[in-house]
Amino acid sequence: METRSSRHDNLSMLTCTLVLPAIATVLVATVPAAHAQDVEWRSYGSDAAGTKYSPLDQIDAETIGDIEIVWRQSVLPDAMREGREDFTPSIASQNTPLMAGGRLYISSALGTVAGLDAKTGEVLWFDTPPDRDGEPFTRVRQTRGVAYWEDSESDDARVIAVVGSYLVALNAGTGERYPDFGDGGEVDLTQGFDEPVETFSWGSPPLVVGDVVVIGSAMSDVTNPNMPAMKEMPPGDVRGFDVRTGEQVWIFHTIPQDGEFGNETWLTAIDEDRPSWEYSGNTKPS
């Protein structure tokens, strides 16, 4: 259960958290409106530095007994089901909503993004990915959260998310995709690595630093009797993308490549004819 985000709001009395089994709950503390604080939660860890801190103080040891539930909302709201029986909730939700401009932004149980009214829990909009290979969208992996960005020179505000193997940018007010972001509104995250990869997975939220969206990549690094450790694996590099265009602007090699700092420490095994940096992987950043 994610609980640190339960203090984020810009309303006088609301807090929000997601609890199992996949229900969004809002509580109200009977604190005088005169003590309202205008504080939002615009990053997964409160801010780009991940401080996980909010100065909100309406809920404390004295007021905790006055809290009441004012609304609940599933992370698979009825508005998103659209009568489709294949839209089923995930086993558990590890999602931390963002709070900005009176809205909550969540990664839904379908792995897509939804915007909620923070006062009522009403679904204001939700994103539905396009059909692929002639098949309608079903669901992808739910992530732990999304990112939020505002243009300092205009009224452009965006919700940034990883939906399956794609990076998307959504209008924070309407949920519409930006057609000039990536290719038709999305960036294929299997592309842009030094070596081709067949699949891409990333369960953590993106991090927006300035005008750059930073995301890592998850490799199959969980070993068990059915998934033995492999010597040759993708490295799990970290990449940065332009928040306006989706263009990949840099890549950080978690295993230093030829000519990069630290590369000389990756030695050649006695039974190999090439240095270990050329084939080693599973260096997923956390």
| Reduced DSSP (H G I as helix, E B as strand, rest coil) percent helix, strand, coil of the chain, to 5 | 5, 30, 65
**What's the one-letter identity of residue 134?**
G
Quick one: pLDDT band at residue 166, thresholds 50, 70, 90? very high
* The pLDDT of residue 88: 67
* The pLDDT of residue 10: 35
pLDDT above 80: residue 35:
no
* Predicted model pTM: 0.82
* The pLDDT of residue 14: 35
| Phi and psi, residue 148, nearest 5° | -130, 140
Q: 2-32 burial string, b = 16+ CB within 10 Å, else e?
A: beebbbbbbbbbbbbbbeeebebbbbbbebe
Taking the C-alpha atoms of residue 160 and residue 136, their distance in angstroms, rounded to an integer, is 22
Taking the C-alpha atoms of residue 253 and residue 216, their distance in angstroms, rounded to an integer, is 11
Taking the C-alpha atoms of residue 230 and residue 60, their distance in angstroms, rounded to an integer, is 50
Across 13-17, 25-29, 35-39, 102-106, least confident range: 13-17
Quick one: pLDDT band at residue 7, thresholds 50, 70, 90? very low
Mean pLDDT of the chain: 82
Taking the C-alpha atoms of residue 83 and residue 86, their distance in angstroms, rounded to an integer, is 9
What's the token pair of residue 177?
């995709």
Find the mean pLDDT for residues 60-89.
85
- Say if CB 193 and CB 237 are below 8 A apart: yes
* The pLDDT of residue 36: 55
- Three-state DSSP state, 224: strand
pLDDT digits (tens, 9 = 90+) for 247-273: 999 999 988 889 999 989 988 888 888
- For 31, 48, 154, 217, 255, the CA distances from 284, given in Å and listed in that order, are 44, 20, 36, 6, 10
Quick one: pLDDT band at residue 56, thresholds 50, 70, 90? confident
pLDDT digits (tens, 9 = 90+) for 269-278: 888 888 888 8
- Say if CB 214 and CB 240 are below 8 A apart: yes
pLDDT digits (tens, 9 = 90+) for 13-26: 333 444 333 445 55
pLDDT above 70: residue 137:
yes
* The pLDDT of residue 272: 82
pLDDT digits (tens, 9 = 90+) for 167-194: 999 999 999 999 999 999 999 999 998 8
Quick one: pLDDT band at residue 12, thresholds 50, 70, 90? very low
- For 186, 260, 266, the CA distances from 257, given in Å and listed in that order, are 29, 5, 10
